[in-house]
Structure 1
Amino acid sequence: MTLGKLRILHTNDLHSQLEQWPSVVAALKQHRKEAEDAGEDVLLMDVGDHCDRVHPMTEALLGKGNVQLLNDMNYDAVTIGNNEGITFSKKDLNALYDQADFSIILCNLRHENGLRPNWSVPYKIYTLKTGVKIGVTGVTAPFRFFYEPLGWTLTDPFVELKHVINEVRPQVDVMVCLSHLGLGEDEKMAMEFTGIDIILGSHTHHVLPDGKYVNQTWINQSGRSGEYIGEVSLVFQQGSKSNIETKVESVKSLKVDSTQKDSGTEQKLNELFKAGNELLEAPVTRLEYPLKVDWYERSESPALLSEALREWCKADISMVNSGVILDNLDAGNVTLGDLHRICPHPINPSTVKISGDRLLETIRQSQQSDMVNYALKGFGFRGKVLGYMIFDGMEILDHFRLISEKNVIINGVPLIRSKDYKLATLDMFTFGHLYPSISSLTEKEYYMPEFLRDVLAWKLKGLKNK
């Protein structure tokens, strides 16, 4: 005997592509209405990175506008992604969900004293009108190097999941995990835990048209930027031994029709944009002359940022790629909005302890045309190309075909291969594949919660005072 049905609608990785949000809302409302008209229960969830401070509204309102949008759509639950977790200060993250009408479900984030933040719960049990119980937990990517300087402790998500599943699984008919770990980790989760029925994924921006079935667990993930929404349909039947049997009827990622827009959401966004823009009109300084940027040769704005980064981090030298500055700054008043416009990336300053030998390798790699023209996607970078690398605190004598230690002058003397230097740079160069000579280093420090534009603002204010 069929007891009823549940439709789980889910979103992930919007990254504040808010111009697409009215179409996402229209799609969600359509599928929610279809389900409710058919007598089905509906749960609506977001799997993190709804916020992204690349958008002026998210930047100005510190994510609270995004929360209002989720409230308006009557979300039941969310978990956080790294864009919520590590691009806001601890104070701002603690305040982000003050007005949330939904649950923030997250089991692997704690304060330094081991307590959970009061705005999150490790799991929640939803009881449907049929009496069926749905357990929901959530995990986020454990980027400890970034969370810890902010005052958070990130625990192993799989260790936490084991505790939650042992506690919750006996109480529920279906177990769902909101996972901001990425598809590869979700597949490992499915192999390791038999107590999870459905993993709603995110972070790696995969589109799974019909989900993925791994070790009797369904995984779904629905792209990025609101191009898709996810839908999981379940049917519940009365078993022969008074137990409830669950069948997953379908798992889908559904393409969002960008021509269909929810008018009420458009109006709300206009109000939020206006409120954000007013805050971003706050003055930073006044320039007596314009600051230009050229992505393919040395220019003023990225050179100033490189100098500021070295000073801010109290480093020996610094390196900044020109492509991190997106536009010129005109002479006249400079506002917070101007700095966000030219440097919107959620990228933090960092330092590494690097040998002269590795530094020389880094310099040589940075001069290669394929690096200058590299169209980077990800790592927080929101520009077009990496661009020309600008170093501060050292001089490169470019009269030679092959750069050697004799051609690199630091503090008036040639680079010493055996000497260690403190190098200030962008956090994105300290992990991943871009500069192995840097990312493979062990002594790294991240300067949180400031972004590059905050360091640039600090430098510009100092220029005015001078």
Structure 2
Amino acid sequence: MEKIRILHTNDLHSHFEHFLKIGRYLHEAQQDQTVDEVLTFDAGDFMDRSHPLTDATFGQANIKLMNAFHYDAITIGNNEGISNSHEVVEHLFDHAQFPVVLANLREEDGSMPHWATTQKIIKTKKGTRIALIGLTAAYPLSYQPNHWQVKMLKETMDEVLPELAGHYDVLILLTHVGLNMDCFLAQNYPQINLIVGGHSHDLLKQGKQVNGVWIVQTGKWGNYVGNTYLQLNDNHQVERISPHVEPTSLMKAQTGDEETILGFRKCGKEILTRTKVANLPEKYEDNCEAAIQVSLDAIAAFAGTDLAMLSSGLFLTPFKKGVLTKYDLQRALPHSMHVVRSTLQGSDLWRLVMEIEKNRHYLDHFHLQGMSFRGKIFGQMYYRQIKFDPVSRVVFVNGKEVDPQQEYQIAVLDHYVLVPFFPTLAIVGNNKFLFPQFLREVVGNYLAQKYPYQGSENHDGKPSAN
């Protein structure tokens, strides 16, 4: 008989307030002498650019802290693969002391990323061969413009499984695809023993069994740590899987934890504050509408359009007059969203505006989670160069009534394509996702040109030529 203990995390999202407790728990559990083997995995979205330290270090602070967790393998989530530029991802794991298992992501030329491996075999002390396959959410519309090839799950599994046949006793998937897709994998590939999942933030306290396959997830933000036991017979066959989770809230804190956690944020703030972006005039002082209007101009210029739209809930803090730093922008717009240039027929643009106006009062106070949104409420929608007459239900573009047959381009966010409130964008919009800059970088670059900072450093933190 053999007993294996699987420790697992997912969707930590840079919630560093839990990292110290999690690290101590993992370290103690990894010394467990009551089992034959302890393995530790993470299922992606361990970083989130909404935290200033992650943003300032491009995720390197996360890697340093995670090295102390002694993972045996991880996979990546969309916050690693999409919320960073291609260049950042290429160097994200330069100092990682754990393998990255990822079967469905390739470089633009089809080659394997140098920092990842398709699959991995771990051999336990008792000779059990454990095969690991990593899968991340397949979002071609986002990965392709960021110079990656992402492969669909079925295509990937049908390719990898024959290569592994006969080389393993236990098959474990590390997935960042969400519970629905984990269930799909379980239904279609019953040879899987265990799926350590993430992405959908489901808390499965005792796991979920589908078609004989166990699926485990620990919710989000490090609120829980997964603690799953596998019992195998002498032929290395799984006889029993017992999933559990451990609440981080019940793990003991130590003196100095709070100071250390505050120090993470303070360090990120100090780094970001060093970079001066722009010098804003008086009209921006605590004026959220002015911030929205200039941001509409910014995304329109970036997308090369006259039209644009943004929601007020994106702006967590207003801008201020005087020197605007990268930290100020990070606080105001922490979301890892990208600009999308959507091409619509005039009749479809009219329909989009009708969808917005129909939902306007509902969205004003709607509490929204997910889809890269890091605020609290959706808020009011603002347009650039679009007017709506509620009496006649006429939409005006650049002062003229919209032409149903004419083609229009509007700058939006990937967020608006994903949310269910504006189906026109997703259904009939010809949408081009624009990478690598995301929203606050687009706004910051625009402000740097419009209101240049004339200090000793420019907005990139490099010495000024003046």
**Is the TM value for this pair above 0.5?**
yes
Runs of 5+ in structure 1 lacking a partner? none
Residue 308 of structure 1 contacts residue 455 of structure 1 at CA under 8 Å; is this kept in 2? yes
1:28 is displaced (CA, Å) by 2.6
- For 1:30 and 1:402, how far apart are their aligned partners in 2? 67
Residue 139 of structure 1 contacts residue 179 of structure 1 at CA under 8 Å; is this kept in 2? yes
Residue 214 of structure 2 contacts residue 241 of structure 2 at CA under 8 Å; is this kept in 1? no
Q: Deviations over 1:129-162 (max 9, x none)?
A: 1111111110001101111111100012222222
Q: Secondary structure at the match of 1:384?
A: coil
2:29 paired residue number = 31
- For 2:251 and 2:66, how far apart are their aligned partners in 1? 21
Amino acid paired to 1:371: L
2:317 paired residue number = 327
- For 1:403 and 1:392, how far apart are their aligned partners in 2? 20
1:272 is displaced (CA, Å) by 4.8
Using the TM superposition, name which of 434-443 and 79-88 deviates more.
Answer: 434-443
2:228 paired residue number = 232
**1:300 maps to 2:290:** yes
1:208 paired residue number = 204
Q: 1:382 to 1:272 in 2, by over 3 A?
A: closer
Q: Secondary structure at the match of 2:249?
A: coil
1:341 is displaced (CA, Å) by 0.4
Using the TM superposition, name which of 417-426 and 81-90 deviates more.
Answer: 417-426
1:246 is displaced (CA, Å) by 2.0
Root mean square deviation, CA, Å: 2.1
Q: Secondary structure at the match of 1:376?
A: coil
Q: Deviations over 1:15-60 (max 9, x none)?
A: 1111122232233334334xx2214311101000001111111111
Runs of 5+ in structure 2 lacking a partner? 454-466
1:373 paired residue number = 365
- For 2:366 and 2:258, how far apart are their aligned partners in 1? 36
2:333 paired residue number = 343
What percent identity do the matched residue pairs reach? 31
Q: Secondary structure at the match of 1:425?
A: strand
**1:424 maps to 2:411:** yes
Q: What's the TM-score once normalised by structure 2's chain length?
A: 0.91
2:281 paired residue number = 288
Amino acid paired to 2:436: P
2:302 paired residue number = 312
Residue 220 of structure 1 contacts residue 253 of structure 1 at CA under 8 Å; is this kept in 2? no
1:122 is displaced (CA, Å) by 0.6
Amino acid paired to 2:69: M
- For 2:441 and 2:392, how far apart are their aligned partners in 1? 33
Residue 23 of structure 1 contacts residue 258 of structure 1 at CA under 8 Å; is this kept in 2? no
Q: 1:204 to 1:293 in 2, by over 3 A?
A: farther
1:103 paired residue number = 99
- For 1:15 and 1:213, how far apart are their aligned partners in 2? 26
1:256 is displaced (CA, Å) by 1.8
Using the TM superposition, name which of 51-60 and 362-371 deviates more.
Answer: 362-371
Q: How many residues align?
A: 450
**1:67 maps to 2:63:** yes
Residue 208 of structure 2 contacts residue 216 of structure 2 at CA under 8 Å; is this kept in 1? yes
Q: Deviations over 1:322-345 (max 9, x none)?
A: 111111222221110000000000
Matches within 5 A, 1:35-434: 36-238=32-234, 243-257=235-249, 260-261=252-253, 272-281=264-273, 282-291=275-284, 299-367=289-357, 368-396=360-388, 401-405=390-394, 408-434=395-421
1:179 is displaced (CA, Å) by 0.9
- For 2:284 and 2:98, how far apart are their aligned partners in 1? 45
2:463 paired residue number = none
1:266 is displaced (CA, Å) by 6.6
Residue 293 of structure 1 contacts residue 328 of structure 1 at CA under 8 Å; is this kept in 2? yes
Q: 1:259 to 1:191 in 2, by over 3 A?
A: closer
2:460 paired residue number = none
Q: Secondary structure at the match of 2:383?
A: strand
Q: Secondary structure at the match of 1:345?
A: coil
Residue 36 of structure 2 contacts residue 125 of structure 2 at CA under 8 Å; is this kept in 1? no
Q: Deviations over 1:375-431 (max 9, x none)?
A: 21111111121212111123445xxx43522xx332332222222210101111112
Residue 302 of structure 1 contacts residue 324 of structure 1 at CA under 8 Å; is this kept in 2? no
- For 2:91 and 2:257, how far apart are their aligned partners in 1? 24
